[in-house]
Structure 1
């Protein structure tokens, strides 16, 4: 099993001023990113089950850390970046939940969360092993390009 001695700190354990009790959908609308909702839901859903598998504990089935990461990005994003899709995508690329990685222990094939969910990877790879990485497996630019390419057009 590949893992770091200690996983990165969780958003639940951090107390950033202004993030407690924030509503993601409301923040997205207020900052001019309402059109990101479906993409963010899809991205966060790709990580569903990873934490449960990592900790081997069903109590982590309701994983709110990715949403807390996105809320923190929105709260910290400068007002001048409101509605700037590229700036938001680059900021999102630094979310802690993106360092949740996995690979097939038998083949060494890594999981790519930008192309499939963790659940799909587990179904295809019986020896899937989750681990905390030191950084996301893509550069901020690659992540931003992926996000912008999958972003619904504004109405």
Structure 2
């Protein structure tokens, strides 16, 4: 990872980033928006979140969306829409397979509540941005809901650096 990207992510997070493997998605202004992390932190602690949203504007928009109750509605739909539940299970399985190909944590736990519930839209949006449309149905839905709120300009710095 380029030092400039590392420094940008540190500025975005307000702390030194941990276990970064690469930038997985950039916003239109070119800044990192999603990073891929190692399955373990530097000290060996398991870190199952493979994709991590770093863009402050994106994170703010996702947090606002989360407060609307949409995650409960998404979770409820898993029990009534078998096709959606199957697509979400596939998202979980692909996430797990990709993470395990880097390093297995010996667990079937992925992130964001997959595959049984939706508990963190940040994870789902990051996954959808990193892998593209059609992989994570709830990430795709959340991105559609965020379309008017992100991207809205430089994500990492007020002056657009």
- Give the TM-score of the pair, scaled to structure 1: 0.31
Q: More relative contact order in 1 or in 2 (CA 8 Å, sep 6+)?
A: 1
- Give the TM-score of the pair, scaled to structure 2: 0.30
- In terms of fraction of residues, the more helix-rich structure is 1
